[in-house]
Structure 1
Amino acid sequence: MTAPVMAADFSELKLEGVTRNFGKSAALTDLSLTVKRGEFVALLGPSGGGKSTALNCLAGLLPLSAGTISLDDRRVDHLAPEQRGFGMVFQNYALFPHLTVRGNVAFGLQMRRISKPEIERQVTAALALVQLSAHADKHPGQLSGGQQQRVAIARAVVVEPPIVLMDEPLSNLDAKLRHEMRGEMRRLHQELGLTTIYVTHDQEEALSLADRLVVLSEGRVQQIGTPEEIYLRPVNSFVADFVGYRNLLPMTIDGVDPTTGQLTMSGAGVQLRADPRVNGPLTGPVTVAMRPDDLVVGQIDGNQIDATVESVEYQGRDFEMQVRTQADIRLFLRTTQRLSIGEPVAIGIGPDRLVVYPADAASTVGASAQPLREREAV
């Protein structure tokens, strides 16, 4: 058996122009990314966005159509999966049902022909780390979903891999377990100093776990940034929509108020003001993005959208509502006020809570595009 690359002391993982085609169809195009040792990077996007393809290319399960993958100055994209030595945690856990918990965790070490005393020591430590010592002699079928996931994580980290790859590992768990396991994932990442590449379609999961996010759509990078950057400054309306800006209005910039410096915009049957940091007037069609949580019942600083309530869902502490504007555009908002279906309502939003994009930035590829509120006008 060829020895794996055991570069636990590597400085960075570098992907340059990584591309994967299936026939004439491109599943992943020109992914370039540098991951520092100890970093937690989440690949985030909808189904078919290319995130699992990227992970499989990293793991060696799919050959590259173009590009390179390197650990520091050593290329690994030509190596077989077992030679790369990466840890892998799958969506379906992929545990051996006929082996005990201890046997599953020990499997990778046995394949590397490590001595039995050392295997025992490392497996015992790994099970203690994931708090499964008391279940060492059980089989996977005797464990809960969360416990099986812990076994899969212990199996991946016990071999002390340079990088751990995780493919939607929490998607099969219920909401309560997912929340609990997110905390465990982060704890293990920090305690072990792991370098983690994590695939998910859940933006809340990605925001809570990752040091940086890579947002993908149709095989192309839309934005790379910290959770705060992605959440507060999405670079285009696709990213905005994906991270919670569910309300998108087509509008036109009329100018800049000389007194307040606010953008004045009209369209979709309404007039709005926004607070971008810009110098000089801007004109032209734009997309205006708004979070449901930022919309309130009532006018704010002159921003008012007249609508009619279409649906109301009780969410415990508040209500999630859908309303339809006079221009027949559906908007979503959350409010503590109980309103009735068919009731007319005035909706407001603060000028500082609007994100404004050029209309042609709806599907901009790459991290260079900036919303108008975050760039200077030329």
Structure 2
Amino acid sequence: MYQLFKPSLHAQRHDFVVDFVRRNKPKKVVDLGCGECGLLGRLRFNHQIALLIGVDLNGAKLRKKMHGLAPLSADYLQPTFDQLCVQLYQGSVTQKDARFRGFDLVTSIELIEHLRLDDLEPFTNVVFGYMVPQTVIISTPNSEFNPLFPGLSGFRHSDHKFEWTRMEFQSWALNVCSEFGYMVEFTGVGQAPPGQEQRIGFCTQIGVFHRLMVDRVGPMFGDNAENNYPYTLVYSVTYPSLCDDNILRRILVSELLFCAEKLKKEWLEKLTDKLEEVNAVEKDETGGECGEIFWSNCQEPQCHNLHRHVSVALQLLCTCCPKLRELSRSLSNLRRLIVDDPQIKMNRERSAVILCCLEQGDEEPNDLTDSGYAERSHVEEENWEITC
């Protein structure tokens, strides 16, 4: 195939689908004839998609390309509340599989021209009469464009069984709409040279089929294939999501400890500045040195020989740390997720996190004495429910 376009015609076809997905936000998408899985590899980054499936007859090709659809390191390090499952199936697009009914979008990019003419009718029945998606995007070569390719004789690819003119493609598409209750928009990618757009049209012609929400008579469900599953699952992966409590807990605990340590450090720095002023006054008055400092019950700093701890209220953490507030969704949910985590120490009321202020090498005390930071920072509990 000659390179006449920049970006390539292959890339323009994928761009068309990706742009459609961004604008229309389908949640369940299946690509028929996914081949090298290039389109799936791009669609997985559209966060509105929850289920992304590829189907191809060539199982060996799917197994070769499937690992390119695995989650990236960033998906594990910074998971979101978005949920995505990617699956690959080996199967023929002329067979009906009950798992593929009711999708939001079905794509068939440069596929139908590889089908034998006697397979075209079963394909049409499967996609429009059995799967019944809300939208179908079908692309195929426009044979009227072929004379512009230098030295090309016959079809563009040795495996093509036919290549339609614009009129042939539109005639087939309108018959599909009439029989199965769809409407179609005709467009394409790969612009013709200036002045030849009307005469030749796009290099790749595209039909975007939209299902009509009207009653109709047709072969949609009358085939007794409810429990038919001829496709073979080759690959399946679920991307990490914060809707998984185990993943959410790991991220939440890390963020909470970071925020709590930051608040503790800020509070201790302020208190240390105040203590230096007090110690300076006491030294002037008594001529002696003050012992180890301990804070309790929000009183003024006092001299004690006890170990030090700081308690930080959960409510304060959520107020001061927007990311923690977003992750936790509610104060009660935050408490539920962290209460049994071994990295977290909490007060008896489970309303605050206890942090140790010991220097490295000091022994851990048996009792946890509250600094009062939790009480000092108390505000009325509230919820921020955010569903997955």
Same fold (TM over 0.5): no
Under a length normalisation based on structure 1, what TM-score does the superposition of the two structures give? Answer: 0.24
Structure 1 or 2, whichever has the larger Rg, is 2
